[in-house]
Amino acid sequence: AQTVTQSQPEMSVQEAETVTLSCTYDTSESDYYLFWYKQPPSRQMILVIRQEAYKQQNATENRFSVNFQKAAKSFSLKISDSQLGDAAMYFCAYRTFTGNQFYFGTGTSLTVIP
Amino acid sequence: EAQVTQNPRYLITVTGKKLTVTCSQNMNHEYMSWYRQDPGLGLRQIYYSMNVEVTDKGDVPEGYKVSRKEKRNFPLILESPSPNQTSLYFCASSYLGQSTGELFFGEGSRLTVL
């Protein structure tokens, strides 16, 4: 089974600064999907950004971008111009190419300091 | 509005008393799945379904049952709940095939087994 590792249980960032959350994964597949989800205190799971493994270009969504290193099996999330509303738990997730199974990391709790 | 609806949102029950958590989606998604979220463990997949009458085990299926008689519904059944099933449960759905396969989550169900 694939594993997803988030080695930073907690991170903090000053408002308006940039922070990078780390994620590594283990797989023998060549094609797959990667995601970052945000879980605010409301518990709702919100998609932040997605990346298809066959695409070399790193995904970007407004202030959120990823650094996808396929050979290194690394998928980090960069949040620029951090805002108070970015404070949440962030989960990295892997989806198999066949689409049947998802694997989540243990999460990184992000605090934004005013 | 496209959504995944799960009920109940909160439930306190006692050991051995059968319960069902319902899940319904209105997006005509083929794929549906259940997860449990525990502190320090992230989200773990319990069961998933690729289509009607097609279900399979995820990583932590013990003590749970599911059924997929209709495309929109995917209930989670705890036949004889035990305290170690106290957790936050999420139902999620997605398209299969050419899409990027992001999961759409319900709002979560907090279950306490005494």
Interface contact A38, partner B, CB < 8 A: no
Which chain A residues have a beta carbon less than 8 Å from that of B47?
A: none
Query: What's residue A98's pLDDT?
Result: 79
Tell me, what amino acid is at A96?
T
What pLDDT was estimated at residue B100? 59
> What's residue B98's pLDDT?
60
**Interchain contact A43–B (C-beta under 8 A):** yes
Distance to chain B for A90, nearest Cα, Å: 10
| pLDDT surpassing 80 at residue A99 | no
What CATH superfamily classification does A3-113 receive?
A: Immunoglobulins (2.60.40.10)
Q: How many CA atoms lie within 13 A of A32 on its CB side?
A: 22
Q: Report the share of chain B in percent with pLDDT over 70.
A: 96
CA distance A54 to B4: 29
Task: Tell me the pLDDT band of A33, cut-offs 50, 70 and 90.
Answer: very high
- Give B41 to chain A, closest Cα distance, Å: 5
How much of chain B exceeds pLDDT 90, in percent? Answer: 90
- Between chain A and chain B, how many beta carbons pairs sit less than 8 Å apart? 58
**Structure confidence by residue, pLDDT tens digits, B57-100:** 999 999 999 999 999 999 999 999 999 999 999 999 998 776 65
Looking at residue B101, its pLDDT comes to 78
B39 interfacial to chain A (CB closer than 8 Å): no
Burial class (CB in 10 A: 0-12, 13-18, 19+), A74: middle
The pLDDT of residue B96 is 79
Which of B88, B108, B100 has the alpha carbon at shortest distance from B42? B88
pLDDT digits (tens, 9 = 90+) for B7-35: 999 999 999 999 999 999 999 999 999 99
Q: Any bridge partners for residue B77, and if so which?
A: B20, B65
Query: What are the start-end ranges of the H helices in A51-107?
Result: none
pLDDT tens track for A48-83: 999 999 888 999 999 999 999 999 999 999 999 999
Taking Cα atoms as reference points, which of A25, A17, A23 lies closest to residue A101? A25
Q: Which residues contact B52 (CB under 8 A, 6 or more apart)?
A: B68, B69, B70, B71
Mean pLDDT of A20-37: 95
